[in-house]
Amino acid sequence: MSTTRELIELSERRSAHNYHPLPVVVREALGAWVTDVEGTRYLDCLAGYSSLNFGHGNPEILKAAQDQLQRLTLTSRAFFHDRFADFCQGLADLCGKDMVLPMNTGAEAVETAIKVARKWGYDVKGVTPGRANIVVMEDNFHGRTTTIVSFSTDPDARDGFGPATPGFTIVKYGSAEAIREAIDADTVAVLIEPIQGEAGVLVPPAGYLAQVREICTENNVLLIADEIQSGLGRTGDTFACDHDGVVPDMYVLGKALGGGVVPVSAVVADAGVLGVIKPGQHGSTFGGNPLACAVGSAVIGLLRTGEYQARAKELGAVLHERLRALIGPADQGGHGVIAVRGRGLWAGVDVDPSIGTGREVCEALMRRGVLAKDTHGSTIRLAPPLVVSEEDLNWAVDQLAAVLSELSQSVSRISTSSS
């Protein structure tokens, strides 16, 4: 059997370096826990960026996948198959919408939403052909295609991949006024994450989403909610928009919709919106395949019980209370945490950069058996599977507290010895 180091070296030599993974090589997993090739166990506090909301190896999802694997896996959309109707109806009902357009990855679903919004703008709103624009937010993350990175404000994501696709207006996240000002006669949609995940789990000000909804309605502009990471139970509601009582015109879903088994994404909207797409105008060889629909239907079944949303809400309250107790400088009883944001089982923890980078904190957490991921320098994001036990969740926060204490002690040792 290869060792961790050998597997990492070979991976680095033979794959593009588009990621900078933590030095752990995972071999198996169950629930909220993963085991590496050396047999060491870790609590998964990333959950595949919320793709694993229902846990690793969720028995109901696995059973649906295994049954389907034996029977039928792919037809293409050239034919109907017997799992398609149930999946589309289930997902449309979960969203309170008329219909579904299934794709595979999140970025494909965002691309689909952009195409649908433009087409709707020309066919329904009456925008001059070629003139449609879409209002998007600073610090957004919607995926990695050339069009999507065209309106990213993250230089790593955007620079070097031009020319940029035109037709997007970038405004400050959290300011409804900025959206109102950016909208003109050619605006077809506002594309927004109800909570910005990759940006560091940024929750917009109270009332903001409701205002955005109002502005879109007043201006005959579609509100597109990218709920790829925030949706499907993570925040304690089925959708992050639910918390604000907001219903978008289009839901963009992905990640957890595939149950951690296969990529499944979708755009969900009413017939007046999705109906603008006619045969031949959009498609995907794999979108809506039988295996994806079987897994997606199992996921929808789990969400219908409300059990996962309730867990995220209850355990999220525990998580946030415990994390907030870490706020404050180490010499004043805190743990060097500057801010904690998020909702439900989803948190962005800003660590004082003077005690260490986010990467250093995550490496130290890994050595203590917790897998988490940093973002934007000094933010740690925590998003364990919603099946995590309260005991394990508390243990993970204990490890974070211990790591921060260790790091700030070594910082104060260094500053004492150098003074």
Ligand X SMILES: *Cc1c(COP(=O)(O)O)cnc(C)c1O
> Which sequence positions are flagged as catalytic?
141, 226, 255
Q: Which residues pair with 187 in a beta bridge?
A: 133
CB of 334 to ligand X, least distance (A): 30
Instruction: Compute the distance between CA of residue 115 and CA of residue 118 in angstroms, rounded to an integer.
Output: 5
Residue 291, phi then psi, degrees to nearest 5: -65, -45
CB of 336 to ligand X, least distance (A): 28
Q: Which of 228, 160, 238 is nearest to 197 (CA)?
A: 228
Instruction: Compute the distance between CA of residue 315 and CA of residue 330 in angstroms, rounded to an integer.
Output: 26
Please say whether the beta carbons of 290 and 81 come within 8 A: yes
**Pure H helices in 219-356:** 271-274, 290-304, 307-324
Tell me whether residue 61 or residue 403 sits nearer to ligand X (CB atom): 61
CB of 196 to ligand X, least distance (A): 8
* Residues of the shown chain interacting with ligand X in the complex, contacts defined by CB under 6 A: 49, 105-107, 110, 141-143, 193, 197, 226, 228-229, 254-255
- Tell me, what DSSP letter sits at residue 102? E
CB of 367 to ligand X, least distance (A): 27
Tell me whether residue 255 or residue 313 sits nearer to ligand X (CB atom): 255
CB of 143 to ligand X, least distance (A): 4
CB of 141 to ligand X, least distance (A): 5
Residue nearest to ligand X (CB): 106
Q: Which of 49, 67, 70 is nearest to 59 (CA)?
A: 67
Element (H, E) at 415: helix 390-418
Q: Which residues pair with 190 in a beta bridge?
A: 135, 223
Q: Which of 345, 104, 117 is nearest to 248 (CA)?
A: 117
DSSP string, 20-66: ---S--EEEEEBTEEEETTS-EEEESSHHHHTTTT-BT-HHHHHHHH
